Structure 1
Amino acid sequence: MSSAASYERGVVRGTRSCDEFGDEDGYGIPAPGVGTVVEVVASGRQHIQRDRIHKRREYARAGIAVYALVDDFDGDGSVVVLTSPDPKADTGA
């Protein structure tokens, strides 16, 4: 992700060791080491906006290949899967 954003909570599951992708501070995984992000929208207006809009933009800019958004706060509940992002495109929702 860009240096402007860092999202801390979550679970990482991979087929390879995350150690090979760790940053110099031993914190996080740089975007090239992430193939898929599955985001579960958190409750609260601020969290919903962050998860639906801001993270979507940041993951696209970082070139994350697959972004799945599980959203139980859109009325009926939904799962949206976004693929093949263009890091240079405007990804406004």
Structure 2
Amino acid sequence: MAHSQFDLFLHEATHVDPVNETSLDRDRLYGLYTSWCFINQQAPGPESNFWTAMKARVGSGRNGLRMKGPAATDYIMASYPGLV
């Protein structure tokens, strides 16, 4: 079965923390996606497609999603350049 770019993104760059009630907000989730695309040398899909895919896969509201992996590092370093 082929996995979409969005399925691979969720598998490689996020994990669900069932204990923690916080979630990635919209800006952070989309930023993580663009970082994931950058490090994997893939063009991001249209933002509207991203949100449609996320709604179908993780729903809206608190979903317990957390960042992980190289995309998380890239996103954090790009968001907070003073850390370098």
| TM-score normalised per structure 1 | 0.27
**Larger of the two Rg values belongs to structure:** 1
Q: Which has the higher contact order (CA 8 A, sep 6+)?
A: 2
Greater share of strand residues, 1 or 2? 1
